[in-house]
Amino acid sequence: MHPMPTTQDNKLDYQQQIALHLMSAVVLLDDKLAIQYVNPAAEALLLRSAKKLIGIAFHDVFFNDSISDKRLLKILASGQEFTDNEVTLRLSDRSPITVEISASSVEFKNGPHILLEFKQVDQLKQISAETFQLHQWEAARDLIKGLAHEIKNPLGGLRGAAQLLSREITSEQQEYTTMIIDQADRLTNLVDRLLGPNQLAKFKMQNIHQVLEKICQLTQLDHNNQIKIIRDYDPSLPEILIDEDKIQQAILNIVNNAAQAVTHDGEIKFRTRIATNQTINSKLVKLALKISLIDNGPGIPLHLQDTLFYPMVSGRDNGTGLGLSISQTLINQHQGKLSCTSRPGRTEFTILLPITKENNYE
Ligand SMILES: Nc1ncnc2c1ncn2[C@@H]1O[C@H](COP(=O)(O)OP(=O)(O)O)[C@@H](O)[C@H]1O
Ligand SMILES: [Mg+2]
């Protein structure tokens, strides 16, 4: 039998657990500015383990002019706390990150210490921008779907009436009813595409490279082998639970755009990798499959970039603007994320598909 924990024990346990699970990085310095404690978020931020960090001088891991030794020591002398909003940190070989730093003094039994708290601002900004984008996209999609439904019903009636009428009239006059029927069919076709994919997904364990190879073949057939496809696959990727047809359609829409955009020296690179600790729809996903489709075309026009995934956004005269919207729907059905970065000469579409326990990945 365990003795009942006291309130004091509970409190200690809470404190330890909270420090372990905090999203912000916490670093404690002694009065010589040597690191005495880091929580796991700080280990992740500074890219070193607690073992390697404890005891070393703070400025051996952290370089920034605005957070000088003098300023930190002043906190101990005067108790003057500070918060710096947008501090850029360059840590080892990683690209710079922007953090908010708060510094305050804390008194312990063995003397005064400085408590530093880091919040990664660019990460927060990116997550909220992504959430906003996704909501906007859903609103646009729902609006168009609603509209498409409203058009579809009377359209059926119109076509039916034209068919009935064609039985009553002379064959010369039938030219007109045929025209009505043809145009109604054309509109129905468009409306169906606006309504988007409506079949339920059929998930199966699949090797993603097999799916990509099919897309390569289709693209080569469509473009008479005019486009160079470069494969950069990670052969160690596990199988993943997907609806093959849907993922194929999602990627094909992206690759078709790339093939239309590139000119004679056109190149499309298919890259696959494992990605860890990604945020997908504001959830942290430990393990994901990352598929990148990179082309060397002219890039996506700037004015399209913010609304690229909305239905009916197109930069081409005869485009419907539905391709990427459909890709987005299909990737969402897989709890994944579709994103894009583009500049002249390099456009990259990235698909993240979470690998979960159900995916049997060890
Ligand atoms: N790889 C790319 N390079 C350049 N522009 C692109 C690329 N992918 C998409 N686009 C732009 O995004 C637009 C929207 O694409 P999409 O939703 O498939 O609709 P559509 O192809 O019918 O125009 C395209 O018209 C094109 O202007
Ligand atoms: Mg397209």
Per-residue model confidence as pLDDT tens digits over 180-228: 999 999 999 889 888 877 778 899 999 999 999 999 999 999 888 889 9
What's the 194 CA to ligand 1 centre distance in angstroms?
16
- Per-residue pLDDT band for 356 (boundaries 50, 70, 90) equals confident
Check pocket membership of 26 for ligand 1, CB cut-off 6 A. no
Going by CA atoms, what residue is nearest to atom 18 of ligand 1? 323
The pLDDT, as a whole number, for residue 361 is 39
Check pocket membership of 320 for ligand 1, CB cut-off 6 A. yes
Sheet holding 337-343, edge to edge: 228-232, 267-280, 283-295, 346-354, 337-343
Task: State pLDDT tens for residues 288-299.
Answer: 999 999 999 999
Q: Indicate whether 120 pLDDT > 90.
A: no
The pLDDT, as a whole number, for residue 32 is 92
Residues composing the chain: 362
Check pocket membership of 327 for ligand 1, CB cut-off 6 A. no
- Per-residue pLDDT band for 360 (boundaries 50, 70, 90) equals very low
- Per-residue pLDDT band for 45 (boundaries 50, 70, 90) equals confident
Q: Indicate whether 248 pLDDT > 60.
A: yes
For a pLDDT cut of 70, what percent of the chain falls above it?
94
The pLDDT, as a whole number, for residue 5 is 61
The two three-digit tokens of residue 111, written as one number:
């003397």
Task: State pLDDT tens for residues 55-112.
Answer: 999 888 876 767 888 888 888 888 888 888 888 877 665 667 788 899 999 988 888 9
CA 313 to chain centre: 20
- Per-residue pLDDT band for 362 (boundaries 50, 70, 90) equals very low
Q: How far apart are CA 29 and CA 54, in angstroms?
A: 9
- Which of 312 and 161 is assigned the larger pLDDT? 161
For a pLDDT cut of 90, what percent of the chain falls above it?
51
The predicted model gives 333-350 an average pLDDT of: 95
User: Can you say whether the dihedral through the CA atoms of 217, 223, 228, 233 is positive or negative?
Assistant: negative
The model carries a pTM of 0.69
Task: State pLDDT tens for residues 258-290.
Answer: 999 998 789 999 999 999 888 888 787 889 999
Contacts 24+ apart (CB under 8 A), 142-148: 144/194, 144/311, 144/312, 145/194, 145/195, 145/196, 147/194, 148/191, 148/194, 148/195
What's the 303 CA to ligand 1 centre distance in angstroms?
12
